[in-house]
Amino acid sequence: MKVLQQFPIKSVLVTGCNRGIGLELIKYFAEQNKEKNDQPVKVISSSIGLSSELNDLLSEHIFHVELNVTDTKSVSAAVQKVSDIVGNDGLNLLINNAAIMHDDKGVLDCSDQAMKETFDVNVTGPLSVRNFQIKSIHYHFSMKVLQKFLIKSVLVTGANRGIGLELVRYFVEQNKQHHEQPVKVISCSRRLSPELEDMLSEHVYHVGLEVTDNMSVQAAVKIVSDIVGADGLNLLINNAAIMQHGKGVLGCSDQEMKETLTVNVIGPHSVVNNFHPLLKLAAECNSDTPLSCARAAVFNISSELGSIQNTKNSFTTAYRVSKAALNMLTKCQASDFIKDGIICLSVHPGWVRTDLGGPRAPLSTKESVEDIMHMITHCTEEHNGMYVRKNLVSEPY
Ligand SMILES: NC(=O)c1ccc[n+]([C@@H]2O[C@H](COP(=O)([O-])OP(=O)(O)OC[C@H]3O[C@@H](n4cnc5c(N)ncnc54)[C@H](OP(=O)(O)O)[C@@H]3O)[C@@H](O)[C@H]2O)c1
């Protein structure tokens, strides 16, 4: 309350107040209002429905507003009510407390649906609640090593252009130089570009893959299973992603947030879970090989824009959020899959001249892919779960 007195907070809105921490926050403010009844804080509790505990707390200065953070109509209606309550003073403090946590037992147990629902409530919800911008709200808120390590197969998503296409080109060139021991290169994309089509050959396959469509992912697993056979899949590179150019938090629509999380997080989650048996098979076949990409590995192509610590502005909010989430997903995968002999890394490929990176980027796709290949051929057990850039240098979360 010292802080409340020092900076007179006139109003506070808390989401998810029916129970738990949200309810306790309302109790706290209610107690403070009793002690300092000359300067009461307008406490606006919000939740879906009203619990009896919360109902008991309502009073002259403690309000309740119905609010489902995943429902834009509900958010708009709540903004109107809160606006009426706070009037010209606006809202001082918004506490985004509402959240859910599914009780899954690890990455393989976490369904795409659970991931979607969790993002809807825990990420898109708080973003949607930004609509509470009532007046005074401020949101202070090389192939040598490939031979040595014997990578037999690699799968690249988003392979029809950009970094993904260059990764395929790299492996194709290596196969030309080392034709006695070709790598099975499985390029996946939802469309086949002429450049990718030109590269298809005996050892370079194309599999249609829309990472957001579970049926497409499952169909791809069947085809890849036939391609790799009993050797399994050594290396899965989750490269496909989107970045829309929303301008900051307020410029980022719920739709943009949803689409970006769906492609950049749920996509890699679904792809890895579905391809896990093939990765595990490769790890078992190479059980005498040290943990590495030659045994079994997942490379999640992340971005430095996903570093929370290094974030100085909100440009491309949804993309930043998605890559930060991808980094956490990588940690979870690393923790769950190490026992299966699979290592997982989050990799920043540098700022690269592609459709996504734009023409001003300093790196060509060739330079970026050389850096990625160095990481592929040098990562070991000690890099499992890490978020890295060129030369496997650790990137701050
Ligand atoms: N370029 C950079 O500066 C930079 C920097 C940091 C990180 N990255 C990361 O590097 C990776 C590759 O980026 P890039 O620059 O090469 O991007 P890009 O040129 O825009 O290519 C993106 C690729 O992702 C595919 N894709 C998008 N949505 C998909 C979906 N739903 N299902 C299947 N494929 C889908 C695209 O296929 P379509 O052609 O069908 O759309 C395309 O092949 C991304 O993960 C990106 O976040 C890039």
Domain span holding position 292:
144-394
- Say if ligand 1 is within 6 A of residue 250 CB: no
- CA–CA gap between residue 331 and residue 50 (Å, rounded): 37
Tell me the pLDDT band of 139, cut-offs 50, 70 and 90: very low
Index of the ligand 1 atom closest to the CA of residue 323: 47
How remote is the CA of residue 351 from the centroid of ligand 1, in Å?
13
Is 198 in the same domain as 100? no
Half-sphere exposure of 284 (CA within 13 A, CB side): 10
Residues 6+ apart with CB under 8 A from 194: none
Index of the ligand 1 atom closest to the CA of residue 193: 39
- Say if ligand 1 is within 6 A of residue 162 CB: yes
CB 273 within 8 A of CB 334: no
Index of the ligand 1 atom closest to the CA of residue 319: 47
Is 59 in the same domain as 116? yes
- Say if ligand 1 is within 6 A of residue 356 CB: yes
Is 54 in the same domain as 164? no
Asked which of 131, 166, 186 is the last residue of a domain, the reply is 131
Is 266 in the same domain as 203? yes
Tell me the pLDDT band of 143, cut-offs 50, 70 and 90: very low
How remote is the CA of residue 368 from the centroid of ligand 1, in Å?
14
Check residue 132 and give its pLDDT. 66
Is 337 in the same domain as 276? yes
- Say if ligand 1 is within 6 A of residue 212 CB: yes
Do the domain assignments include residue 170? Answer: yes
pLDDT tens-digit series, residues 40-75? 899 999 999 999 999 999 998 999 999 999 888 888
pLDDT tens-digit series, residues 164-195? 999 999 999 988 887 777 899 999 999 999 99
Diameter of the chain measured on Cα atoms:
85
How remote is the CA of residue 173 from the centroid of ligand 1, in Å?
22
Do the domain assignments include residue 329? Answer: yes
Is 49 in the same domain as 177? no
- CA–CA gap between residue 229 and residue 232 (Å, rounded): 6
Do the domain assignments include residue 260? Answer: yes
CB 132 within 8 A of CB 81: no
Question: For position 22, which CATH number holds?
Answer: 3.40.50.720
- Say if ligand 1 is within 6 A of residue 207 CB: no
Do the domain assignments include residue 154? Answer: yes
What would the mean pLDDT of 95-115 be, rounded to a whole number? 88
The yes-or-no verdict on residue 15 having pLDDT over 80 is yes
- Say if ligand 1 is within 6 A of residue 210 CB: yes
Using a pLDDT cut of 90, give the percent of the chain over it.
70
Is 181 in the same domain as 229? yes
Asked which of 99, 131, 163 is the last residue of a domain, the reply is 131
Asked which of 131, 163, 184 is the last residue of a domain, the reply is 131
Is 70 in the same domain as 175? no
How remote is the CA of residue 356 from the centroid of ligand 1, in Å?
7
Domain count, the chain: 2
Do the domain assignments include residue 137? Answer: no
Check residue 133 and give its pLDDT. 57
Is 326 in the same domain as 223? yes
Do the domain assignments include residue 14? Answer: yes
Do the domain assignments include residue 139? Answer: no
Check residue 138 and give its pLDDT. 32
CB 216 within 8 A of CB 240: no
The yes-or-no verdict on residue 123 having pLDDT over 90 is no
What would the mean pLDDT of 196-216 be, rounded to a whole number? 97
Is 36 in the same domain as 161? no
Residue whose CA lies nearest to ligand 1 atom number 33: 210
The yes-or-no verdict on residue 350 having pLDDT over 80 is yes
Measure Cα distances from 350 to 297, 299, 317, 361, 376 in Å: 20, 15, 19, 9, 15
pLDDT tens-digit series, residues 304-340? 999 999 999 999 999 999 999 999 999 999 999 999 9
Is 242 in the same domain as 337? yes
Is 154 in the same domain as 263? yes
Residues 6+ apart with CB under 8 A from 5: 36, 39
Q: What is the pTM of this model?
A: 0.83
CB 130 within 8 A of CB 139: yes
- CA–CA gap between residue 141 and residue 310 (Å, rounded): 15
- Say if ligand 1 is within 6 A of residue 161 CB: yes
Residues 6+ apart with CB under 8 A from 141: none
Do the domain assignments include residue 136? Answer: no
- Grouping H, G, I as helix, E, B as strand and the rest as coil, residue 316 is coil
